[in-house]
A = this chain, B = another copy of it.
Amino acid sequence: MASTQPVAASSGVDVKASPMAKSTEPNRNPKYDPKKPHIADQPMTRKNWYKMVNWLNVYMIGVVPLMGCIAAVWTPLQWKTLIFAVGYYYCTGLGITAGYHRLWAHRSYSASVPLELFLAFCGAGAVEGSIRWWSRDHRAHHRYTDTDKDPYSVRKGLLYSHLGWMIMKQNPKRVGRTDISDLNENWVVVAQHKHYLKALIFAGIIFPTIVAGLCWGDFMGGFVYAGILRIFFVQQATFCVNSLAHWIGEQPFDDRNSPRDHVFTALMTLGEGYHNFHHEFPSDYRNALEWFQYDPTKWFIWSMKQLGLAYDLKQFRANEIEKGRVQQQQKKLDQARSKLDWGIPLENLPVLEWDEYKEQCANGRGLILVAGVVHDVTAFIEEHPGGKAMIKSGIGKDATAEFNGAIYMHSNAAHNLLSTMRVGVLRGGSEVEIWKRSQREKKDVQFVKD
């Protein structure tokens, strides 16, 4: 499964004029020097491996949750805190799925300022980077899916796409460039990016601690459960969009790249599991199309619309979506078809005269003419499901009408079987329906692309 995305694509068009996020833009790392070869591009040795690890991220994603688990042993879990932690889990999850992903990265709907503020706050509480940084990477992921410019390409392994891309240092030049001019014009996004560290600490830790502390006196539980451990679960769940959603499931729209649809991924990720659909129709505010499929992010956006807080919900027409499905099914069918034996092509058959045909039959060969093609059924007479007498009645004649309904309208299976018995074409031989059919079949096979 080679990727079909162009790898040298960034050299395509002159985009100096457009306000692109340069891939060399320092990502809150003032020490970064674009002239030196990046550590990620050097071979890993016993001496330098620790330099390749992004220790800050290891700490945030691995060590902190571990400490949370240990702390949990001494922290009794109160019912109120549990309910609040789960509720806040959903809020911060939606901050990522409904906010970071569907609103800002894909602009699949528009949100009023209160909703934007809510999502920007909750999204910060999920501790997965600023909207601006996350969306830039995510757009690169869509544009360069499965290539080296994809920040979390699943081609580098399931674990890499889940965590590895954060735990190992990345050469910022590697990730593909994308247009984030619209985000740079949005003050909520810009403000969140500017004050990200404060937002993270407040929404991620302080806020849940205070709520649990001031409302029912459980500061410690709020900190450990609704803070640390809730962050851990939200992170792992949303990371699944990059890993699982590119690993397990069906590909009803396009099988050239890795995105897949699976209900398990949807259950893990607040509905982001219909990922084959999503990569094909990224600006659709839905991920699941059917009401019975699990897509709470869609339900949330739709509810916000009912409340007047969201508008311009984008949706691809059912016609366009069905077209995609039909094309993928056609591709699969063409692949299946091209693997089958459809009989000797008519142009490779010898041409027989009518008299030759009659003569060979008189000499005892069991030839039957159907639709201009001569078939040798000698070995099949005994086997004929309709009996010996019937099939013998066609020998030496033009049995087209009899075969096609005058006596018995044979099944597709019988037509297919007949085509394996071809031995010649009759000169000037009546309707050549099978010819038309085989033309069609050959043409279909040409459609197969990979």
Contacts and interface: CB of A to CB of B under 8 A. Distances in A.
Given A13-B402, A181-B389, A326-B333, 19 more contacts: A9-B406, A9-B407, A12-B402, A15-B393, A106-B385, A142-B385, A143-B408, A181-B387, A279-B411, A282-B385, A316-B413, A319-B341, A323-B412, A324-B412, A324-B413, A326-B340, A327-B416, A328-B412, A330-B333
A29 interface: no
Interface of A: 4-6, 9, 12-13, 15, 17-20, 106-107, 142-143, 178-179, 181-182, 253-254, 279-283, 314, 316, 319-324, 326-330, 333, 336-337, 340-342, 383, 385-390, 393, 402, 405-409, 411-413, 416-417, 420, 440, 443-444, 447
User: Which of A179, A322, A408 has the largest number of chain B CB atoms within 10 A?
Assistant: A408
20 contacts: A5-B405, A9-B405, A13-B393, A13-B402, A15-B389, A107-B385, A179-B388, A283-B383, A316-B417, A319-B340, A320-B420, A323-B340, A323-B342, A324-B412, A326-B337, A329-B329, A329-B333, A330-B444, A440-B443, A444-B444
Given A319-B340, A389-B15, A409 B443 contact: no
Contacts of A416: 320, 323-324, 327
Given A181-B388, A314-B383, A402-B12, A5 B409 contact: yes
A438 to B, nearest CB: 12
B6 A281 contact: no
A290 to B, nearest CB: 17
Contacts of A386: 143, 179
A390 B14 CA distance: 10
A107 B322 CA distance: 45
Nearest to A416: B323
Nearest to A17: B389
Given A6-B405, A326-B333, A281 B413 contact: yes
Contact of A406 (B12, B326, B447): B12
Contacts of A12: 402, 406-407
A9 B407 CA distance: 5
A5 B416 CA distance: 18
Nearest to A393: B13
Nearest to A330: B333
A342 B336 CA distance: 25
Contacts of A323: 340, 342, 412-413, 416
Nearest to A407: B12
A405 B409 CA distance: 50
Nearest to A331: B412
A281 to B, nearest CB: 6
B390 A179 contact: yes
Contacts of A282: 385
A268 B336 CA distance: 33
A280 B411 contact: yes
A401 to B, nearest CB: 8
